[in-house]
Every structure is written in C-alpha cells, then in structure tokens.
A and B are shown apart, each in its own frame.
Chain A
Amino acid sequence: MSELLPPVIVGAGPAGIRAAERLVAAGLRPVVVDEAARWGGQIYRQPPDGGFTRPKTALYGFEAGKADAVHRAMAAIRDRVDYRPRTLVWNCEAGALDLLSDGTSEILPFSHLILATGATDRVLPFPGWTLPGVFTLGGSQVALKFQGCAVGRRVAFLGTGPLLYLVAYQYLKAGVEVAGVFDTTPFAAQARATTGMLRDPATLAKGLLFVGWLRAHGVPIHNGVRPVRAEGAERVEALVWRDARGQERRTGCDAVAFGLGLRSETQLADLAGCRFRFDEADRAWLPERDGAGCSSVPGVYLAGDGSGIAGADAAELAGERAALALLEDLGRPVEAARVKELDGRLARIAAFRRSLSAAFPFPVDWAAAIADDTMICRCEGITAGAVREVARSGQAREMNRAKALTRVGMGRCQGRMCGATMAELLSRTLGTGPDGVGRLRAQPPIKPLPIATIVPSPRGGEGTDGREVA
C-alpha cells in the first residue's frame, strides 16, 4: 500500500492524541485535524491560551493526572505532527477530506484515516427545555473548563450517566451552589449494577466518592426522577420534577444542566462509506469496528467515543490500538505484546461499560411522555406531535422520510441533537424497537459552512450544462 500520503487523524482528544503518539513513534508524521483551538478533546479540553490560571486539579479533578498526561503526550510530539487546530472537517469524499480553517477550504487526500471524532450530549426534550438557563451537562462542563464561568449561580443537575455526578461535583468544587442532582435512574438499578462495576474498583470508588462528596456538602440527590418542566418568565427559575413515588415537586434554581449520556459523532464515518449497525447498549446506529478499530472500509479506522461510547480511558487505548492496526496494514512491525495488552484492557473496559449502561439506563418512558406540544427540533421549531402524526398516519416509517415530511433534522444541527428524540418518538409510535426506524443519512457539510468560504483554486463544478433544472 502506498505510503506517499501521511496518515490523517481527525480529533485531538484522548483517542486522537494516543493514535498520533503511536504513529510518531513508528517514524510517521501524521496530520492531526481538530476543531478546537487547543488539543485535549472535550473531556480534557484546555482553557484558552493566556489569562486562565486555574490549575489542572481544579479543572479536571480526579482526572487531572490523566488530562495532564494526554496534554503532555501531544506537546511531546508537537513538532513531529502536522497539527491543524481550529479546523473543521466538513466532508469526506473519494479518499479526501474537506477542511475549513480560517475561512478557507482545503482538500486533504488520505490513504489511511483514523476517525476519533468524539461525542456530544444525548438529550431528550422536556417542557421548558428551550428556556435560557437550560444547558446540556457537557455544555455546562465546557463553560467551566473553557470559558471559566458557570451556567448559573444555583444549578440543578438532571438526567443520567457518569457525567451527571461528575459535573455536579465540578460545579460544587468551583463554588457554585448545586440545587440538587436529579437522577432518572431508580436507586435499585444503580445498586444492582454496582456489582458489575466491581470489575473496575477505581472508577467505582471515584463514582461513589462524587456521590459521597455531594451528599456531605448537603446536596440533595434524588433517584427515579422525571422532569415535569423547567419554569421561568425569561429564564429558568425552577425545575419542576416528579419523584420516584410520583409526587410533583419544585426546586428553585437559575440553571438546569441535563443530559442522558453521550451520543457518538458518526457523520464522517458515514460519508467515508463505513457500514453501520445498531448498538443496543448505546441505543444508536454506530459504524462497525472490530477489536482493533478497523471499520468496514479498508484504510479507515475508528477510535474513541465517536464510534461507541466507552469513555476517555478506553479512548486512549483504542486510539493507540487503531494506530497499531494502521501500522500493521502498512506492513510496519508491531509489538505483539503491546497489542495483546491493549486488547485485554479494552475488553475489561467493555465489560465495565456494560455494567455502567445498566447503572445509567436510558429512560425510555421519558420519550413516551413528551407532550405533543413540546418542541423537539429547535432549529426548525417542530413539535413532538408533528412527528407522531406522520408516523400514526402511515406517512413515515423511517427517519429520513420523517425528516422530509416534518423538517426535524433539517436545520443547523442536521439531526445531531434532535435525531435521537425523533428515533424514540417514531419507534414508539410505530411500535418497532429503537432499531426499527433506520438512521438519518449524513450529508455534507456535516456542520454549517460559510457561503463566503474561500476556495484557493476553484476547480469548477463538473457537468453544468447551462440549464436550469426543476
């Protein structure tokens, strides 16, 4: 296989950085393309250069050591990689990526590509979720880590997933009042799943410590919660919620941070032609990858949360593992012992993640309870009722059709935020499983592209025959 082109890595989080490190160690000079201004990804996002002086222990808590190690790993190879920060990959077509950087579009051909595109919060709407003051958990964390500010003075944390307790803890540590943690998971489910988590006592201990620490500081923690609505005239003034016994309660707050775990950013894998499968644990369509990170497309490798949620530790391992698979495909010598060790550790994490998803199950009844008049697509202003209507009337039996008829997923986010909700509503209404309604096809650009994008050497659209169509 040709080695004329340097390997390309998309994403400079834990997976991308460890992949780059391994390729550099093998004497290659990878291109690392990243949307952020500084490396670290979402989880180990660094504050902007200059002016921000909070130490890593304050920014990343228990993870400070890991964050620091990842940051240092990239710093150490900085001059041996072609690093492209502040660069959006907006398309993948015919063996090349389209990059957007400083308003200029550039074509980057590749022969070997590692996609480490990461994840965003998975959200389901509830009444009032569009009020100013309602944020995702990940967004709230970015505010703290990157912008050095909190989303409110008194914040309610709602939802499920490891991020729920972590971000509440980080906010409390940062001196913000935590109005409460409102966990959608019933207490019993969490207790049961704890047994499985004993596979990774360190992570379990960390989780328990967050909970213990929050309790010790007087933060109320409620299990089995469902949101009723976020209330407020111009911004959030209270979270109204239903407790495990079905009683409606009200908690005053000026911000709500919520999320239901994470969802993988899979658009590039889709445009690269990767085959997808439905993943029960993530409740999502994901690009297929084998244990080494190979996708169904030769030369395209997948690592980290962008192709299945497994967390930052797994991402580091999977990044390195994908790089080793790439090197093997190039015919480079690869240390078998290291491969074996990584495979073993990834397998243990995978087992642990299964327990974790049991501990933080997706609240399937939340979607069922979304009122018809609740807006589910913020870009286009479409309600849950509109989606249910096209399903009920037989007009739409899958996602792309529902998108065409309702406009859900046609706005700026292109379904990245609202897609999960539409899948839940459609499959519920149609009585299929969550895998029964397909997935939205990715289209370029995967994020909005300025019309004023500069094209250094426009090649001209092929085949315009001078006629207006339609």
Chain B
Amino acid sequence: MANLAVEINNLAFSYTENTGVHFAGLNLQVPKGERFGLFGPNGAGKTTLMSLMTGLISAQSGSIKLLGQPIGIKKDKEVNKLFGFVPQDFSFYQELSPAENLEFFGAWAGLSKKQTNQRTTELLEVLGLQDVRNQPVEKFSGGMKRRVNLAIGVIHNPAILILDEPTVGVDVQTRHAIIDYLRKINNAGTTLVYTSHQLGEAEDLCNEVALIDDGQIIAQGQLESLMEKYGQPTLEGLFLNLTGKQYRD
C-alpha cells in the first residue's frame, strides 16, 4: 500500500447523460516511481479516468487514492498538492508570459513567492524558455506552448505527474526535450502517469502500461512482459492485438 502512487479500487462512474464511457468496478494500481502509460482507443475512458484521478469529476462509488490519500473529497484540497496535471489543452493564460503564468500557478499550487521565483527560473531554463520568459504566450509556437503547459504542471515539484497527451502536435525536437525532461524528473522520484497516441514515444518512455477499452482495463503489467506474453514486438502491435482494428469514433 505504501508503495503505491495511485490506487483505484472498485471504481464506478457513468456520465449523468448515460452517454460515453462508464466504469463498473474498475481497479488499477500504479507503483511509486513508475513511468506508467495508460493507452486505449478513442472513447476508451483514458481522459475520464484522468479526470477522476485529478478530482475534476467524482466517482459514484469506489475509491481513488494518491499516495494513500483519497481524492475527490471537495473540501480537502491538500491531496492536490501531491500531483501535477498537464492537460491535453493549453491550460494557461495566453495573454500572460511564461514567467507570469508560472508566478500565478505557483501561488495556486501552494508555493511561496520565493519558491515560485526559484522554480520559475529553473523550469524556464531547463525547458528552453528563458529567452522568451517575458513575452506573451499567445505569440508562441505550438511546441513552446506545450513546454509552458508542462512547466506549469511541475511548478510545485509534485510526487505524481499526470499527463494527458503532453506531446500532441509538436515537432521532433520538442518531443525529445519533453520526454527527456520527464525521464529526468522520474529519475528524481516523480511517478509519471501518462497517456498518448504516440505509441513509439510511449514505448520509449514507459516501463509499466495498462490498456483500457470500453471502461475496462484489459491488460496491465511491465511493457516487456506484456509484449512477450502477447507475442508482439512493439507497443503498437500489442495495442492493435488487444483492441482490434475497427474505428472507435
């Protein structure tokens, strides 16, 4: 239990409109320090599961714990300090500069002014945004915006980083920079929970994966063991083998 970063037990959830994905008795465990990948076709439930993990939506029953602390209890937002979230959409203020965004989100993440300033300098340097730190983000390229999006998610040095397609729409250089950075913070102890449709990139990054389809975990384990078990040389092969080739949207 103490070694689990994410622990989902018997989770039940469905949208009130009764449309889209629904979970019934879903269980998932992500050990601490892993680079965990969650994969599945469109509409499988990846984003819904991430929204439940981050407390954006609440489950009808069951529990989700991050480092042993339950999430989704509205009044108690202390657990939110444990994780960082990098949504698929650009989740910041485009009118502001990277430094101004980090200053604001740092305060909201619970950092002091001094800590925020220190982290801002570090992150802008590491992610190659130092030269444009005071320019409005709305003028940035897609790749630069992705890096700003990531910087905000890790401003408070979270123990768990939840990433929803963090490299979508970026060039090879930016993808490498982001993946390298994720590997670096994982080496420093941050657990990564990651989802992407870039399976080549995911294969390179993740050591543990889960495949989700129609609201159910259909396979989970060490990536190499799963590929061996299903006789697939790549993650993409494993994915197609387990989820089929038909369109999902």
A, B assembled together: no
